[in-house]
Structure 1
Amino acid sequence: MYEFNIIIVSILKDKVRPVFPFTAIVGQEEMKLALLLNVIDPKIGGVMIMGDRGTGKSTTIRAIADLLPKIEVVQDDLFNSHPFDYDLMSNMVKTQVERGDHVPTKFIDVPMVDLPLGATEDRVCGTIDIEKALTEGIKTFEPGLLAKANRGILYVDEVNLLDDHLVDILLDAAASGWNTVEREGISVRHPSRFVLVGSGNPEEGELRPQLLDRFGMHAEIRTVKEPSLRVKIVEQRSKFDTNPYTCLEEFQEQQNELKSSIAAAQDRLPNVTIDYNLRVKISEVCGALDVDGLRGDIVTNRAAKAFAAYNNKIKVDINDIKSVITLCLRHRLRKDPLETIDSGNKIKQVVDSILN
């Protein structure tokens, strides 16, 4: 009986919790596009998803991670270090590589890390065991969520309720790709490159414009009104809850196709180009909309390239820009925290007059 229980526990440990398939999600095209473009090019800078309660924000975000190919990491490394890319290695792995040591590796699923609302700075950034450092002279680092999220996705639900100081830390790490922890004169620096995804309900308050601007994209989602679509969404969810494995099997072919498309787009992205005259037009739009700074220009260029790569092209055209520019600029038009975010009408008018 004892051995039987061990076998059952082992089977349950190995059993992966099923994730609702991304290709089964009905509607919410804006959110799905923003997530796809960010996993194709994480340098876009993440996405802020704002919308009504119960519209599938969390489900969609968890589903995108399930589409990504496994990544190769250094075995027993705390930071999911890349075995070949110097920029994605921890200092310990760099030292091993420089010495010519053999570095064992393994393949893991892309990390999907949830940041809870009550998280402290030490939980997010990691902490140094000061007592051990002072008494034994050993610098022991306890990694935080930023270490676990390296080369993956960091998801913050209700990010508009998170302390501004923590949001600043997350955005700085996402922008630089590094996290630095300093305590009592001891400093630890490690790679922390991830896709930052925030979600929230606008009724509970918006982020300050200065913080919102740091997100690469802003997707708006609304409750589906059409009765037939609502019925389809309810049926899909009920089918998954009743028998998730049957639902996964039904969408397996579409999931595999989308996985292949993402991987191909990631490979194609370095070769995608955008003509000078189109770059000028993007900057014209940003100037006409009085967008502060240059983040809007940079993100729109990156997103247009990722969109072109996803559509099997190596040259960006006007339609690629039109498809992504609202996502990239919508949240950069607010000058006053009391203003509401433009739904996209103002951007569309300017885009239609300049990009023709």
Structure 2
Amino acid sequence: MVTAVVGALAGAVLVTVVWLSVVLTVFTPRGRPTRLVRGVLRIFASPLLAAAGRVPPAVREPLLDLCGPLAVLTVAGIWLGVSSAGFALMDGTPLREAEWASRLLMVAAITTYLLGLAAAYSRRERLVARLAGSVCNPRDAETLLAVYLKTGSRDHLDTLFAEWTGWMTEVEHSHLAHPALTFRRPAGDLDWLKAAVIVLDVATLIEALAPSWAPAHTKALLMTGTRCMRRLAAGMCITLPPIPVSLQGREERDFSDSLLLACEAGLPAERDPQEAWTVFQDLRTGYAPLAYAMETRLLYDRVDEPDDVGD
């Protein structure tokens, strides 16, 4: 009798813990994954990334594609398996009759979880795909700015910045709450981290050279993007020493050339080149090194561009 009672209590605890994990993961993630999600992802990510670093790119991408889905499906399997074990311990009690209802609700919760992840991934890649039609590397930031200045207006730039401010907020929340999204491979040639750096570079160039002219969402984009990169990097346990100068992706473009291109396109120069360079680096060192560190950790291949691209 005592054994049956203890078993029933243990089963009830298991079912309760599982449902608490489901609720926290699916319905109230609050920007932080549960220990189960973090642990399972770490189990798959570490060996897959280590193995992928030793194989050709043709094999690497399909191998790394498995990381996120395997982690998510394993978490779902643990929920169902532990829940079933908990109800089995409650055999002979009235609570056992709730197993089928619990299982149906859990399947519905898992389906909601998978659909939410798919929707978040689609939103991440949709805006990147639009940007990929005109840029491919951080040296294209000046070209993108020039196009908007020559063919659009400050309002069009503000719309772009507003869209990407929302994108940064969405990516920060979704990728911290569901870190498996971080390991989902880019859908196109332009990865989401490089795309973020390009847009942030456009805003940084404007803020460095013409702060009074800058569109309304410029500072909001820079603040949101910098916070996003810092929090995502921290979630991947990436820490960097203080970096005074950030040239990641811009090694082939002299800053004076950037200023010349921006000014020729119509951006009013409010700061001298040296002051603009200082402001540019103060802002860029807050996001670009972290983005490139994450790219390196995730083994995103960078296509070698010819030196005259963008010149």
Please classify the TM superposition score into its range, dividing by the shorter chain length: under 0.3
Structure (1/2) with the larger strand percentage: 1
* Bigger radius of gyration among the two: 2
Report the TM-score, using the length of structure 1 for normalisation: 0.21
Structure (1/2) with the larger helix percentage: 2
Report the TM-score, using the length of structure 2 for normalisation: 0.23
